[in-house]
Amino acid sequence: MDEDHRAAKMHLEFDILKGIPLKAHVTNANKSEIAQLESMLSPGKLYCLDAGYRKYRFLNTILQRSSSFVVRLHENASYALIHERALSETDCKAGIEFDRVVWLGSTNTRNELSRPVRIIQLRYHDERALSGFSRASRLSSKKTFRTPSVGKTLLIVTDLMDLPAELIVLMYRYRWQIELFFRWFKCVLGCKHLLAHSKNWITIQVYCALIVSLLIRLWTGRKPTKRTFEMICLYFQGWATLEELIEHIEKLKSKEQKQQ
């Protein structure tokens, strides 16, 4: 951060299956997210990304680094159909409407990807809409209400050709774990408020919070709850004994073993 840039951005590579961060960079808020992720790419990985990373040249870079991707596309994405893949009964039950092998992009951008990819369209239903749920609009002070739409479609693109379509959809749904981690990271680990405003101080605070999250995960075997973080704070402030903290951790380990 400086006089011209009063915000910072954390670029995080997150292991969805293990629930832990792998890499992190702190930059000014105006830095390109795609450029930062490109500098963090590694071979032999599957990158699960939202629509903001759908640039075709970037997807091709992932392929060139010997990795794969599962990315959300906008509904109006252009492509040329190569062939339609048959849907299994499991695919249909999962809400998948089609599974196609295509050349992605318009005539002008089709050469930005070096190989055909796979597009899967998923129709999903908002359970709140089906139950008649409404919520107050935040766009106006008037007592207006918005009702979620009953049916929505989602386009997912991937280079993985051998996996069932319903498994590709499941992979993308796991991307929500990243959003949950950031919510927990800000609310529980103290990154909701900055201790200082220089880039170095912000970087130190972010790295300390990430290290704490890894240590708690290593000690307990699970993502800590707010109660766990409170117990650790109470211990360091002298308001909880080491025995009380260990007892709390052992209870967490016991719950984790029972769930397994």
59 lies in some domain: yes
226 burial level (CB within 10 Å; 0-12, 13-18, 19+): exposed
What one-letter code names the amino acid at 149?
Answer: S
Cα pseudo-dihedral 60, 64, 65, 67, rounded to 10: 60
Determine how β-strand 117-125 pairs with β-strand 135-136.
Answer: unpaired
114 lies in some domain: yes
> Considering its fold, how many domains does the chain have in total?
2
What one-letter code names the amino acid at 140?
Answer: S
> Is-above-0.75 flag for pTM?
no
Query: Pick from 122, 150, 174: which residue ends a domain?
Result: 174
Read off the pLDDT of residues 150-162 as tens digits, 9 standing for 90 and up: 568 889 999 999 9
If asked whether residues 140 and 73 sit together in one domain, one would say yes
Name the residue among 246, 241, 188, 183 with its Cα closest to residue 213: 188
If asked whether residues 137 and 185 sit together in one domain, one would say no
Determine how β-strand 68-73 pairs with β-strand 46-49.
Answer: parallel
If asked whether residues 83 and 132 sit together in one domain, one would say yes
Q: How far is CA 204 from CA 82, 182, 201, 254, in A?
A: 50, 17, 5, 33
Domain of residue 191 covers 181-259
Read off the pLDDT of residues 69-104 as tens digits, 9 standing for 90 and up: 999 998 888 899 999 999 999 999 989 999 999 999
Question: What distance lies between CA 173 and its chain's CA centroid?
Answer: 9
Read off the pLDDT of residues 28-67 as tens digits, 9 standing for 90 and up: 888 888 888 898 899 999 999 988 888 899 999 999 999 9
Confidence at residue 132, expressed as pLDDT on a 0 to 100 scale: 42
